[in-house]
Amino acid sequence: MLRRVFVVLAAALPVAQLASAADKLVGGPFVVNAGPNSATVVWILDGAGGKPGLSAQKTTLSGLEPGSAHSHVVPGLADGKVRFRTAPLGQAKFPFVVYGDTRSRHDVHRRVVEAILKVPADFVIHTGDMVADGRVEEQWPVFFSIEKELLSRLAFFPALGNHEHNTPKFYEFFDRSQPYYSFDWGAAHFTMLFSDIDSLAGGGDAKRKFWEEQKRWLEQDLEKSQGASLRFVTIHHPPFSAVKSRQGDTNPTKELVPLYERYKVAAVFSGHDHNYQHHLKNGVHYVVSGGGGAPLYLVDAPLRGITVKAESVENFVQVTVDGRQVRMEARRPNGSLIEGFGF
C-alpha cells in the first residue's frame, strides 16, 4: 500500500542559530521516541551557542499518521534531513533489527551498519555499549558518524550498557528521563531495561532499592501489556551465557527470568557477550546480539538443555513480526545466515 510522506518543517531553535552552528553538527539528525502520532528529532552540536562541548538539540513532531513514512528537514543544517516510519496501530506486519556492542573496532561497526542498511526494517534496537566510555565526549561523534546513514532512515531505540557508565549524555542525546522505558509497535509491546546497576550512585542498599523498583515497574509493564500480541524485552546483560567466564557473573538479571515466563515474553534481547547466542527456556527465546564491533568472545560453554545456537561472530538480528508470528534471522556482516528460526 502506498503511504503518504509528510515533510514537516519545525525546529527547537531559531533558524539563524541553527545556521550558525551548522558546521559543528556531529550527530544526526535522528529519530527517537517514535510512536503512532509523534516522534522526536534530535541532532548533536559541538559548541552550540558558543559553549564548549556536545549538546543535543531537538524538536517534537506531532499529528503524524500512524504506520506511515515521514521525512523532516531541520532548517539551517546542511545535511539536516531525516526519514522514519511511525508505529502502526493494531495488528500489522513489520520488520526491525537488533544489534549492539558497537563500542570499538570501528571498521567492523561500519560493516555491520552497512549490512543492516541492506535489509528491511522500520526501526532498530541497540542492546547497549554504543561507545567504549560514554563519559568521554570525543567518542560520541565517532559513533554518530558511523551510524549516520542508518539513523537518518530508522527510528532508534537504545538500551544502556555498562560502557555508557550511566552518563547523563545518554539521557540528553536520546531524550530519555529514565534508564528504562517501553513502547508499542503495532500490536507488539517492547520493554527496555537497565542492568548496569554498578554504575549507580550510592552504596549497595541504594543500588538494590533501584533494582527492586525497576522489577516492580517491569512486572506492572508486562501485566498491563497482556493484551498485546507479543512482548519483547531488551536488557544489556543476558541472563544466560555460553561464555564460561561470564557464567559466574553476579549481575542480577537472572532474577527477572520468572517474570519473563509468567507474563509470556516472546524474546529477550541482550548484548554484553561479544558474539551471537540463542537460548530457549520455558518458551522464552533469549537472543544475544553483541557482535557490533567490540572484540569477539569465544563460545566455550554452551548451556545443556537451553542453548540452541552460539557462535563467536560479528552479527545483527533481523526480526519480522506478523500478528503473533515471529521470524528471526541472525546474520554476519557479509549478509550470510548464522541462524534462522520462527515461532
Map out the domains of the chain with their CATH numbers.
6-85 (no CATH), 93-342 (3.60.21.10)
pLDDT at 122 over 90: yes
Q: What's the whole-number mean pLDDT along residues 11-15?
A: 40
What does the pLDDT read at residue 51? 86
Q: Which residues contact 315 (CB under 8 A, 6 or more apart)?
A: 99, 112, 275, 276, 289, 291, 330, 331, 332, 333, 338
List, for residues 228-272, the tens digit of each pLDDT value.
999 999 999 999 999 999 998 788 999 999 999 999 999 999 999
User: What does the pLDDT read at residue 5?
Assistant: 41
Rounded percentage of the chain residues whose pLDDT exceeds 70: 93
pTM of the model: 0.93
pLDDT of residue 2: 35
Which amino acid type is present at position 218? L
Using the predicted structure, report yes or no on whether residue 6 has a pLDDT greater than 90.
no
Q: β-strands 39-46, 25-32: how paired?
A: antiparallel
**For 188-211, how does the pLDDT look when each residue is reduced to its tens digit (9 = 90+)?**
999 999 999 999 999 999 999 999
Binning pLDDT at 50, 70 and 90, where does residue 23 land?
low
Q: Residue 114 burial (CB < 10 Å; 0-12/13-18/19+)?
A: middle
- Cα distance between residue 194 and residue 86, in whole Å: 25
Is it the case that residue 116 has pLDDT exceeding 70? yes
Nearest CA among 128, 127, 102, 129 for reference residue 113: 102
Residue with cell 498491563: 224
Which residues, 6 or more positions from 262, have their beta carbon under 8 angstroms from its beta carbon?
none
